[in-house]
Amino acid sequence: MTAAQQPLRRDTSRGWVAGVFAGLGARLGVDPLILRVGFVVVAVATGGVALLGYLVAWAAIPATEDQPAPLARLARIRRVRGDWRIALGVVLLTLSCLLAFRQLGLWWSDAIVWPLVAAAFGAVLLWGRSRPDAADREADAPAAASKPPVAPTAAAPQEPTEAPTSRIGDLYRGVFGILLVVGAGLLFLSSNHVFGGLRDAALTTVVVVVALALILAPFLWRLGRNLASERAERIRSQERAELAAHLHDSVLQTLALMQKRADDPREVAALARRQERELRDWLAGDGRRTTDDRFAASLRRAAEEIEDVHRVAIDVVMVGDCPLDERSEALLGAVREALVNAAKHAGDAGAIRVYAEVDENEIELFVRDRGPGFDLARVPLDRQGVRESIIGRMERAGGSAEIRSVPHGGTEVGLTVPRMAPEREGGAA
């Protein structure tokens, strides 16, 4: 059967009305006349409801000629937005639900069919208006789905030209929706003969309230959505303003300063370095700042302070970390002294390097510069810096300091301090 392979098409050339049965007959290999007679019988038996089925078939099935189905054509017209299609779908759904209830015997009166359908149609149109535009666009996307995947970027510039049309469409749709809902209410009331009866005043009120709710709810809903999106927009613009303020206070100021001091390379380098540090901290978030009670963070901060004061570059490399205690505080004091020393004597000879390694038993730290180097034996006794602040301090903390000076290779201060026994080990000892 080759006919069965073909998709279902309406045959408008041989059809009587829209060619639905001619096409269906060709597809099934049955004489269309049999189908037509059968349909008329069913239509009469269902009180005309089956006619709706015919309408749906006409709308959904494309004709023989290479034309899309009327529904698809409807959807393709830009002015007719996705809401109409959704409304139509909801109407059909409502009808099918009603039919099902009727078949099951859960039935009150045929009088509610058309009011319900009209109310559903109107409500969907009104509710559709309350959706944000993005959702609207999404609903329209399937109609334009045949476009290549560049659509998202290519479609964007077209949006503004569409706006006026859709504004009018919105209005049109809104008025139409209200008329439908009001009409549905009136139809329902008149079909129940309650206009004259006082005892049904309650029912009248209920119907009016329901109609009003259907009409007003979308507007209230939309109002709420607009407020929410306005708030989000405000937060976004606040963030932008904060970012702009930060860049203005920090980066732009520093750049201006650097231009002024362009003749002092050391000053420019120091400014750039400080700005880089600040920007890195800021980009990394607050994480690095909040751990001030840790050794690594304190060491970094000490190095930064000395960088700023003495206009030198200090690179810190850390392996491991530990909480600050008496001994690591003493170590920090000694490191400061060593760094200041290096900054004074070797600040021009490239970056000063700090390497610290924390393991279970001790903290080891090295400060290395590439300055001219000096001989410890020849340091005058009144220079308290090295002897007292570094060596003495380390010895009092139970550690040691070693100053290694290599001619042409710079100076390296090595500091070692044993870790304080953690409290949990106190009981075991």
Residue among 151 and 317 whose Cβ is closer to other proteins:
317
- Verify binding: residue 42, other proteins, rule CB under 8 A: no
Secondary structure (DSSP) of 309-345: HHT--EEEEEES--B--HHHHHHHHHHHHHHHHHHHH
DSSP 19: S
Q: Which stretch binds other proteins (CB under 8 A): 68-76, 154-162, 285-293, 351-359?
A: 351-359
> Site for other proteins (CB under 8 A): which residue of 58, 121, 295, 366?
366
Q: How far apart are CA 416 and CA 364, in angstroms?
A: 5
Q: How far apart are CA 357 and CA 336, in angstroms?
A: 17
Distance (Å) of CA 282 to CA 25, 248, 278, 287? 74, 14, 6, 10
Site size for other proteins, by CB under 8 A?
14
Q: How far apart are CA 5 and CA 53, in angstroms?
A: 24
- Verify binding: residue 349, other proteins, rule CB under 8 A: no
Q: Which stretch binds other proteins (CB under 8 A): 82-90, 154-162, 297-305, 311-319?
A: 311-319
Mark residues 259-298: x for contact with other proteins by CB under 8 A, - for none. ----------------------------------------
**Shortest CB 2 distance to other proteins, Å:** 47
Q: How far apart are CA 257 and CA 272, in angstroms?
A: 10
Angle formed at CA 189 by CA 184 and CA 190, multiple of 5 degrees: 100
Residue among 293 and 359 whose Cβ is closer to other proteins:
359
Distance (Å) of CA 203 to CA 120, 195, 206, 261, 381? 19, 10, 5, 85, 107
Residue among 14 and 288 whose Cβ is closer to other proteins:
288
**Shortest CB 364 distance to other proteins, Å:** 9
**Shortest CB 288 distance to other proteins, Å:** 12
**Shortest CB 366 distance to other proteins, Å:** 5
Q: Which amino acid would we find at residue 312?
A: V
**Shortest CB 414 distance to other proteins, Å:** 9
Mark residues 369-408: x for contact with other proteins by CB under 8 A, - for none. -x--------------------------------------
- Verify binding: residue 409, other proteins, rule CB under 8 A: yes
**Shortest CB 104 distance to other proteins, Å:** 51
Q: How far apart are CA 393 and CA 399, in angstroms?
A: 9
Q: Are the C-beta atoms of 208 and 185 separated by less than 8 Å?
A: yes
- Verify binding: residue 300, other proteins, rule CB under 8 A: no
- Verify binding: residue 318, other proteins, rule CB under 8 A: yes
Residues 131-170 that bind other proteins (CB under 8 A): none
> What is the rounded (10 degree) CA torsion for 319, 324, 330, 333?
70
**Which residues are CB-neighbours of 279 under 8 A, at least 6 positions away?**
250, 251
Q: Which stretch binds other proteins (CB under 8 A): 88-96, 169-177, 208-216, 364-372?
A: 364-372
The sign of the dihedral angle between the CA atoms of 300, 305, 306, 311 is positive
Residue among 136 and 278 whose Cβ is closer to other proteins:
278
- Verify binding: residue 357, other proteins, rule CB under 8 A: yes
> Site for other proteins (CB under 8 A): which residue of 346, 368, 393, 397?
368
Residue among 385 and 414 whose Cβ is closer to other proteins:
414
Order of strands, sheet of 410-418, starting from the edge strand that comes earlier in the sequence? 314-319, 352-358, 362-369, 410-418, 400-406
Q: How far apart are CA 185 and CA 118, in angstroms?
A: 9
- Verify binding: residue 37, other proteins, rule CB under 8 A: no
Residue among 15 and 410 whose Cβ is closer to other proteins:
410
Residue among 102 and 288 whose Cβ is closer to other proteins:
288
Distance (Å) of CA 45 to CA 17, 41, 51? 21, 6, 11
Q: List interacting residues with other proteins (CB under 8 A).
A: 315, 317-320, 353, 355, 357, 359, 366, 368, 370, 409, 412
